[in-house]
Structure 1
């Protein structure tokens, strides 16, 4: 497909690269009117200039701007009967794709939560009822349906689903290997609360007479074996209020990490504290590379603390190439409007980074139980809807669990059913 535009911009190239190249299709751009007029294939004018019988899509100005606008007016619009976004009174599906995919609204967070995060309820997709669908993919399909059914057929034939179970290791064990002051402190808390069950379990685990309730690593190994794209992200930060894993320099801990990294993909789970310290982030990068003796190119932020564009800039500076943080803690769905992997675009520098990839996730275990307060049965229904959406429009079905949740520790008893159901529905 050939596009005519008044000017060729980096934002337009980024958007069309996603719409076409990332979906196995091809396009060309020109701002030369004679070349466009003489072209005999499928073509469209993305301009206010009309070429006789050639299809024309009147653009908003968003894809031709070079700076970030805090005061941009975004409303619900309609284009050929399709709901999309309207920018300064112009309904434009291509600008809608760019706006949602780049997370434009997250560059100026007005109401962060207690952890400084942009929340789902503040997103335009949530406000318009689009968060639980791949709204970007809906717009792409509508674009081809209206302007080129031939491309729509190619788009549909090329769709596939990539399955990525993933685990964040925030607390490797509940009791095992936690010694000294940490063991005394936890023991004291349980004594104060008169939690006899935890006191008993801790004693049996530390004596080696009972498996630690968070020990799901044999299970994760089997998942690695059956789903080779499985990811594990390990927390290696220093102990702090929100960073409570076992000491990174415990030789037994290091050996476990090394064993897991030899099986499949293992990435860094940067600590909560590292969000405020380049020195701490660098320490954790050095630690995981030292333990595994190999380069680590993938990460997911602890607490899903994503600050745009700062987080991605910092990870790129550390040599990372792929991030798995794109999703919400407080709701399930499609934060970037798609389940498809895509390149990072920095709105402050107006620059695309095709070699730094963003992999969205569809849901997190804690979102279902802790944030949404869903039952197991209602969670299964949510999974069905999310899986159906990804099967319909293709993409990556990445989902987050933790070793303690897959092990069904404490309140997670019975929840492995939800994990298993996810994989069953994806088969």
Structure 2
């Protein structure tokens, strides 16, 4: 057990110490603000304050974890061995920076609460982030810091029990359109046929007609192939299906269509399924509740996993709606256009609501790689960057989360390339 002394025990301190010490390192911790109790303790102990009390393990603090709300902060990034850090402190500290404040800043997404200009899709732009501005988006710095903290702590307290981490790959398959031709209704299909003819996409015309008369499988219905991968190689996949009402933003197949429901039920027999929230469900809790109930009615179990279909997170409002509806896991934390670590970590974490200053039960599962970047990079650059990212996650024994779309594996893409990327992530020969 690690006894932690701090003059004032705040919700932020409890949150980040529990995340780093307990959830990431497996260390049992106890807080105290009584100097006498701390000094009398014979076992492992750490003080977090402006100055050390004795010869204990000491982390000098900055004021971030004592504050409430958010404000503009002056942050100076500095090198630390082979990585970087910020919120630097004096040489009296056993680490050259306040690891707890810096980690809190990144995983709470503090910077996303600050005023910023959203991009054309209403998203927090990567360019506004400290990680992009200081060129460390490609590194899971929180995990790197924590492993270095572990080394120093274990050298001071060799008998302190800590858990071992293990590299775990996992993939989310988002399905905004389970089918591209099938079950879209006469009018939508007729208009699509006319557009294909106008563009002289004769291959799509032929495919469309063959799907209509049921002599060919819909090109987007690739779920059996992915399920086969799961069966053969025991890879972790989570499938997200959209069940929104049809609109200008959401053009998925109706949730009432029997083949659509049948695919969801079939996939749910072999893998976890979740909800790909529609455009309006993201900000409207009534619509989100309706979509949630639709998924639960199909799979006959409570909805546990969701993803934002547009990745236009608005914190903390979007997450507050998930919490109110008792949805436990969100998989939207990442940048679809840039590979990297949006929250500075490859470890799932509980969402901390800065507005309410409370640790919530919502677990955030950050992703590192989104398949939409494949179209923007050369194959050589893609392979090089992906290899580096996988290496970074393996070095910290973290979780490599990737996101693909079901259409990535259809005949209308370079599906062999997408399959090769998926297999590299999951180490499938």
Structure 1 match to 2:137: 131
Comparing 78-87 with 292-301, greater Cα deviation is found at 78-87
The answer to whether the 8 A contact 1:408-1:416 is kept is no
Within the candidate set 335, 341, 356, 1:328 is matched to 335
Are 2:353 and 1:346 aligned?
yes
> Which residue of structure 2 aligns with residue 314 of structure 1?
321
Q: TM-score, normalised by structure 1?
A: 0.91
The 5 A counterparts of 1:4-403 are 4-23=5-24, 24-65=26-67, 67-77=68-78, 83-86=84-87, 91-149=97-155, 158-225=164-231, 226-227=233-234, 229-353=236-360, 355-369=361-375, 373-403=376-406
CA–CA separation in structure 2 for the residues paired with 1:153 and 1:178: 63
Cα 1:111/1:323, change in 2 over 3 Å: same
SS at match of 2:218: coil
The equivalent residue for 2:425 is 422
User: Distance between the aligned counterparts of 2:288 and 2:334, measured in 1?
Assistant: 21
> In the alignment, is the contact (CA less than 8 A) between 1:270 and 1:281 conserved in 2?
yes
Provide, for residues 372-418 of structure 1, a one-character-per-residue CA deviation record: whole Å limited to 9, x for no partner: x1123332222221221221112222211111102352355633221
Paired residues in the alignment total 421
Indicate if the aligned counterparts of 1:62 and 1:87 stay in contact, CA closer than 8 A. no
Shift of 1:301: 1.0
2-side partners of 1:359 and 1:159: how far apart? 16
Structure 2: runs of 5 or more not aligned: 91-95
How far apart are residue 325 of structure 1 and its match? 1.0
| Structure 2 contact 27–163 (Cα < 8 Å) conserved | no
Contact in 1 for aligned 2:4/2:45 (Cα 8 Å) = yes
What's the CA shift for 1:238? 1.4
Q: Deviations over 1:339-368 (max 9, x none)?
A: 111111100000002x32111111111123
The answer on whether the counterparts of 2:70 and 2:114 sit within 8 Å (CA) in structure 1 is no
Q: Structure 1 418/154 Cα, relative in aligned 2: closer, same or farther at 3 Å?
A: farther
Ranges in structure 1 where 5+ consecutive residues have no aligned partner: none
Aligned residues of 1:74 and 1:87 also touching (Cα < 8 A): no
Which 10-residue stretch deviates more, 24-33 or 322-331?
A: 24-33
RMSD: 2.5
3-state SS, counterpart of residue 57 of structure 1: strand
Q: Deviations over 1:127-158 (max 9, x none)?
A: 11211111001221233334442669989860
Give the match's secondary structure for 1:239: coil
| 1:151-177: CA deviation from partner (whole Å, max 9, x where unpaired) | 699898601122322200111111122
Query: In the superposition, relative to structure 1, how do residues 43 and 53 fare at CA in structure 2: closer, same or farther (>3 Å)?
Result: same
